[in-house]
Amino acid sequence: MKAIVFTKYGTPDVLELKEIDKPIPKEDEVLVKVYAVSINDWDIGLLQGGDIINRLINGLFKPKIQILGSDIAGRIEAVGKNVKKFQPGDEVYGDLSGSWGGFAEYVCALENKLTLKPAGMSFEEAASIPQAAMLAIQGLLDKGQIQSGQKLLINGAGGGVGTFAIQIAKLFGVEVTGVDSLEKLAMMRSMGYDHVINYKHVDFTKNGQRYDLILDVKTNRSVFDYTRALNRNGIYVIVGGSLVRLLQALFLGPWISIISKKKICFVALKSNKDLESMNELFEAGKVKPIIDGHYQIDEVPKAMRLFSEGTHKGKVVITVENNNKH
Ligand SMILES: NC(=O)c1ccc[n+]([C@@H]2O[C@H](COP(=O)([O-])OP(=O)(O)OC[C@H]3O[C@@H](n4cnc5c(N)ncnc54)[C@H](OP(=O)(O)O)[C@@H]3O)[C@@H](O)[C@H]2O)c1
């Protein structure tokens, strides 16, 4: 089978398209023929091996897991003898982070990492959902306790998480401000953001506006700046961002909460937890993934370069195999 492989840490230039053996599922695994896979920030971190956390996960000096790609959608081709939930032919999707292997024509996965794909959802749409939509749901609902009538700000609003978060937030009847670069503001307005801010021109923590809830995928300021932009009893939810800023928020957050009545929360991704809810929202026409692509499997390096530069809108998706049905 074809796979995008890397044997040393580096830029997308170290990725190679190779012919390798098709994997064989273990007793508790299924073999999935991959139709589509999307790119996540985590793929970039593991590829670069740029920080100690990614090196601890995937090898100090060279990568142990050599095929990246976690968010896949495809059709089950074979099942191990202990698999109960699926059978060959089922169309599934899910987040395989931890084992990865999605930038390939076939991948093996534990059955609990996969969910049936609704018939009306394309493989590309399904592949765009797992990490980004789970972070949006868990950030807004589980941590942010979003409520109707609130003022919400999403920082990093035009990427994967932000384009799911705006659609979910609007179901709660909130007023939403989105912060991202100029090139994404028109798309964001068309998606329903009530106000948009170009972060290169305006610092939303210093323009006098206050929010009940902030969802931040790009934490890059001092935690004091963020709490200044919150109303009393407001909640600041951190999805991701600079390690230094995350550590600062982790240590100072509890003290700030005691003194100011404002809450600082972190999302710890629970992979695949809310995929069934996403299926319902999708089938009810309430959420539609925004896809940047479609790239082919040999274009993974190019797609990862574009993702790293941040020029993409929504989710960057690779079509591994075209499927005319969906
Ligand atoms: N908490 C967890 O358990 C967990 C698990 C997995 C991933 N994560 C995190 O989740 C996040 C994934 O986000 P995503 O998929 O939505 O990323 P994304 O698709 O790259 O979107 C991020 C957006 O932020 C914009 N941006 C860049 N710098 C900005 C700034 N200073 N202010 C405002 N916006 C800015 C980018 O646009 P431009 O670059 O064009 O400006 C881009 O549109 C990452 O931070 C990742 O580390 C967290």
Whose CA is closest to atom 5 on ligand 1?
A: 269
pTM: 0.96
Q: Is 49 left (phi over 0), alpha (psi -120 to 50) or beta?
A: left
Rg (CA), the chain: 20
Site of tokens 């932000």: 162
**118 DSSP 8-state letter:** P
324 pLDDT band, cuts 50/70/90, is: low
Quote the CA–CA distance of 265 and 42 in Å, as a whole number. 20
User: What digits encode the pLDDT tens for the residues 67-93?
Assistant: 999 999 999 999 999 999 999 999 999
User: What digits encode the pLDDT tens for the residues 27-60?
Assistant: 999 999 999 999 999 999 999 998 888 898 899 9
Which of 94, 90, 61, 95 lies closest to 78 in space, CA to CA?
90
User: What digits encode the pLDDT tens for the residues 103-131?
Assistant: 999 999 999 999 999 999 999 999 999 99
CA of 77 relative to ligand 1 center, distance in Å: 34
Q: Is 162 in the pocket of ligand 1 (CB under 6 A)?
A: yes
How would you class 246 by CB atoms within 10 Å of its CB: exposed for 0-12, middle for 13-18, buried for 19 or more?
Answer: middle
pLDDT of 325 strictly over 70: no
User: What digits encode the pLDDT tens for the residues 144-187?
Assistant: 999 999 999 999 999 999 999 999 999 999 999 999 999 999 99
User: What digits encode the pLDDT tens for the residues 221-278?
Assistant: 999 999 999 999 999 999 999 989 999 999 999 999 999 989 999 999 999 999 999 9
Quote the CA–CA distance of 250 and 266 in Å, as a whole number. 8
The 3-class secondary structure across 10-78, one letter per residue, is: CCHHHCEEEECCCCCCCCCEEEEEEEEEECCHHHHHHHHCCCHHHHHHHCCCCCCCCCCCCEEEEEEEE
Ligand 1 closest atom vs CA 311: 40
Burial code (b: 16+ CB inside 10 Å, e: under 16) for 286-310 equals: ebebbbbbbbebebbbebbbbbbee
Strands 16-19 and 2-5, by their bridges, are antiparallel
Report the number of secondary-structure helices (H) and strands (E) in the chain.
Answer: 10, 15
Quote the CA–CA distance of 196 and 157 in Å, as a whole number. 9
Share of the chain above pLDDT 70, in %: 99
pLDDT of 326 strictly over 50: no
Q: Is 76 in the pocket of ligand 1 (CB under 6 A)?
A: no
Quote the CA–CA distance of 41 and 308 in Å, as a whole number. 8
What tokens were used for 22? 């098709």
Ligand 1 closest atom vs CA 97: 6
- Residue 148's SS3 state is coil
User: What digits encode the pLDDT tens for the residues 180-227?
Assistant: 999 999 999 999 999 999 999 999 999 999 999 999 999 999 999 999
Whose CA is closest to atom 23 on ligand 1?
A: 156
Neighbours of 28 (CB within 10 A): 14
Q: What separation in angstroms does the CA of 240 have from each of 30, 152, 243? A: 31, 17, 8
